[in-house]
Amino acid sequence: MNDNLQVTAATTTNVGHAILARLRAAGIEYFLANAGTDFPPIIEAIAQAGEDDGPQALVIPHENVAVSMAHGYAMVTGKPLAVMLHVNVGTSNAICALTNAYRTNVPLLLMAGRTPWTEHAGLAAGTRSRHIHWAQEMFDQAGMLRELVKWDYELRAAGEVDMVIDRALTISQSDIQGPVYLSIPREVLASPAVPSSAPRRAAPTGIAHPDPDQIARAAEILMAAENPLIITADVGKSPAAAGHLAELAERYAIPVITHVPRYLCLPTDHSMHLDYEPSPHLAQADAVLALDCDVPWIPATDPVHPSAKVIHLAQDPLFSRYPIRSFPSVLSIAADAVAALPSLSEAMAGMDGEKITARRSRVAEARAEVRDKWQGVRDKARQAEPIHPAWLAQCVGELLDDETILVNEMGVAAPHADLTRPGRYYGPSPAGGLGWGMGAALGAKLAAPDDMIIAAIGDGSYFFGNPMAAHYCARAYDLPILFIIVNNHGWGAVRRATKAMYPDGKALTGNDIPLSRIDPAPDYEMIIESCGGYGERVTDPDALPDALARAVKMVKEERRQVLLNVIVSEVV
């Protein structure tokens, strides 16, 4: 290499040092990296750092796994991690996982190098030295993901490191939380800089409290209703908010639908947990509280009471970053559920007791009818071959306790799993970017190293999860996880969508719906063995409980990642 392109770093510190120091001062525990030619200043900084200088740098062999790990860590802890990728190509590889994080309001700091500006020696340290530095440059690198982050910026000067990192993390952690993006040209990364451990300049914002007049109006609507209904998807992101919902629903006998929940919003054994599907109950509801729920029902197919009064309560009740969303609303309350639900409960304190008693009786009857239907499915599922998803869900549910976290991506049918512990269940983003579950489970294990992590993942999602990269990380960083591959030989969501649109179509007349089947299926249980794990194929419903028990024991006692390839039917 030309001497003019070399940098003497033995006795100097650069922006790479300053960035790592600032992350450490901000309490960032892990720096998840997928490196490229822009990384030498970061690499030199890590090499010079002592063991206690942190954050701990982890090599993640695929960008989507890295961002999904940060997602999983944040959903358990509420705190962001730092991820750094290689210029535009690394950024583009992470966009699917970033979409999931953005639509789930998960805080994380995503950084990427930027192609060097300069072409000729002597102009700046870090100038272009590889042929890819021309083809990788973009006019607007952040433009490819600007719709998927709260904030983006390019670090332009060495003296701005503390200010820029502080601002990025503060915005990421402020309501409404979400990912932020910072690009850094190599010349800036290589510039001399003095690391700082000074306190952060700005603290994140607190929770948003509701307008008292709106809360009073919402209380009036719910108190006057004969058959009110609460529909939620995300209130369980905060276990405290989930607790407030449980208290309000029980106190005033208001049934709750947890529609496509990303978190456990209400335990399934709670007397007011009615169902996971709104459609059988909407037509009778004369008041609906859509609570932290972007899609409370499907307008094209779900009947709504003609005079129902609908209230939306969320940090952004209009979901203004969704291009179109036209659910009716007589009241839109912008507030955090942690603050709003206790206020709403107190505002309803004068409600007539006889009305509450009548509601409670009706809910109990409706709830029993739903549970009888679920039980009927389970009774038939017990001996079905291939293994019925309801039997798998029941068996997995029996493993769940206060020390177990279930990460569920197209794996476990929630009505059959008996989910009772808020803060212990996580489902995929409403954006539906497949491949989230494996990385999220790894991030959850980083966040809760003493907990048992079970990742239930559809076989189609497993492909998108970059399994070799994920299994590598589980081995390299001592993150033993039980992966359950729910193998129906394809993409069930595609099949169901086709059936819904064309119930009498040609596609349903044959044995295979085109473009939805993975056949011949890989021997998934063998993939994990290449990374030191244990894999097993399970086809017999009677053998499933013992296989799960063996797997859990192996993960806990041997600290070894395990994969069960469970062959299931296509029925859900």
Residues 181, 246, single domain; the answer is: no
Residues 419, 482, single domain; the answer is: yes
List the alpha helices (DSSP H) in 78-147: 87-93, 95-103, 132-135
Which residue did the predictor score with more confidence, 406 or 121? 406
Residues 320, 440, single domain; the answer is: no
Residues 477, 511, single domain; the answer is: yes
φ/ψ region of 122 (left if φ > 0, alpha if ψ in -120 to 50, else beta) reads: left
The rounded mean pLDDT for the chain is 94
Across 497-501, average pLDDT: 86
Residues 34, 144, single domain; the answer is: yes
* Residues 256/236, Cβ–Cβ less than 8 Å: no
Give the end of a domain, one of 372, 390, 413. Answer: 372
Strands 404-409 and 425-426: parallel
In a domain, 198, yes or no: no
For residue 1, give both structure tokens: 């290499």
Q: Give dist(CA 275, CA 278) in Å, integer.
A: 7
Which domain range does residue 487 map to? Answer: 382-567
Q: Give dist(CA 179, CA 108) in Å, integer.
A: 5
**Local confidence band at 8 (pLDDT 50, 70, 90 cut-offs):** low
**Torsion of Cα atoms, 234 then 237 then 243 then 247, to 10°:** -10
In a domain, 298, yes or no: yes
Residues 360, 388, single domain; the answer is: no
Give the end of a domain, one of 142, 174, 189. Answer: 189
Distances (CA, A) of 327 to 216, 233, 304, 335, 483: 22, 16, 11, 18, 38
Instruction: Note the pLDDT tens digit of each residue in 287-328.
Output: 999 999 999 999 999 989 999 999 999 999 999 999 999 999
Q: What is the pLDDT of residue 2?
A: 41
Residues 345, 403, single domain; the answer is: no
Residues 134, 264, single domain; the answer is: no
Give the end of a domain, one of 316, 348, 372. Answer: 372
Contacts 24+ apart (CB under 8 A), 379-385: 381/416, 382/541, 383/541, 384/541, 384/569, 385/539, 385/540, 385/541
**Local confidence band at 408 (pLDDT 50, 70, 90 cut-offs):** very high
Instruction: Note the pLDDT tens digit of each residue in 123-180.
Output: 778 888 888 988 889 999 999 999 999 999 999 999 999 999 999 999 999 989 999 9
* Residues 119/77, Cβ–Cβ less than 8 Å: no
Q: Give dist(CA 310, CA 332) in Å, integer.
A: 9
Q: What is the pLDDT of residue 11?
A: 52
**Length of the chain in terms of residues written:** 572
Q: Which of 437, 472, 530, 476 is nearest to 75 (CA)?
A: 437
Q: Which of 92, 115, 110, 93 is nearest to 37 (CA)?
A: 115
Q: Which amino acid is at 516?
A: S
pLDDT at 571 over 80: no
Instruction: Determine phi and psi for 293, rounding to 5 degrees.
Output: -140, 115
Instruction: Note the pLDDT tens digit of each residue in 455-482.
Output: 999 999 999 999 999 999 999 999 999 9
Residues 504, 535, single domain; the answer is: yes
Q: What is the pLDDT of residue 572?
A: 41
Across 327-345, average pLDDT: 98
Neighbours of 152 (CB within 10 A): 19
In a domain, 196, yes or no: no
Adjacent-strand bridge partners of 64: none
**Local confidence band at 6 (pLDDT 50, 70, 90 cut-offs):** low
In a domain, 202, yes or no: no
In a domain, 207, yes or no: no
In a domain, 203, yes or no: no
Q: What is the pLDDT of residue 51?
A: 59
CATH number at residue 36: 3.40.50.970
In a domain, 497, yes or no: yes
Ranges 114-123, 395-404, 515-524, most confident: 395-404
Across 427-452, average pLDDT: 97
CATH number at residue 268: 3.40.50.1220
Residues 312, 407, single domain; the answer is: no
pLDDT at 12 over 60: yes
* Residues 74/104, Cβ–Cβ less than 8 Å: no
In a domain, 469, yes or no: yes
Residues 286, 248, single domain; the answer is: yes
Distances (CA, A) of 293 to 9, 135, 236, 466, 493: 52, 43, 11, 30, 21
Residues 430, 548, single domain; the answer is: yes
Is the C-alpha dihedral spanning 274, 275, 276, 279 positive or negative? negative
Number of domains in the chain: 3
